């Protein structure tokens, strides 16, 4: 068997924790660094049936902790945290469904 070429994915990686999203899907949160930028990494993993092995499915996001954008140092991770906190506060009063809140997708109104 030929040796596979190794490719460095991150300069540093630290597991933070995980959350079950469904019986066979979980999100793993980690802190990573790559090319001098620290980021929060959220990746989705899955397992098939009763298989105990969790596999990455390619879905996820890496959100920089601090990064210069247009000559201004931004904090995307902190901004996402605030928006998620806001959404969680809104959730108890958020209607699950109803004609007055349905969202439609058509050629005129692209969501």
- Residue 17 belongs to domain spanning: 12-49+59-93
Which is nearest to 38 in space by CA: 11, 65, 78? 65
- If DSSP codes are grouped into helix, strand and coil, which group holds residue 92? helix
Confidence (pLDDT) at 84? 96
Determine the average pLDDT of the residues in 80-102: 90
Q: Is residue 5, in this structure, part of any structural domain at all?
A: no
Q: What is the pLDDT of residues 3-44, one digit of tens each?
A: 678 888 889 999 999 999 999 999 999 999 999 999 999 999
Query: What pTM, to 2 d.p., does this model score?
Result: 0.78
Domain count for the chain:
1
Q: Is residue 20, in this structure, part of any structural domain at all?
A: yes
d(CA 86, CA 91): 9
């Amino acid at each position: 068997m030929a040796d596979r070429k190794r490719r460095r994915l991150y300069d540093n990686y630290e597991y933070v924790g995980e959350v079950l999203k469904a019986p066979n899907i979980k999100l793993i949160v980690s802190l990573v660094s790559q090319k001098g930028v620290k980021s929060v990494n959220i990746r989705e993993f899955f397992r098939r049936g009763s298989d105990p092995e969790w596999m990455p499915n390619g879905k996820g996001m890496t959100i920089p902790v601090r990064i210069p954008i247009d000559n201004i140092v931004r904090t995307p991770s902190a901004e996402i945290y605030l928006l998620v906190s806001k959404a969680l506060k809104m959730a108890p009063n958020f209607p699950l469904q109803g004609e007055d809140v349905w969202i439609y997708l058509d050629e005129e109104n692209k969501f």
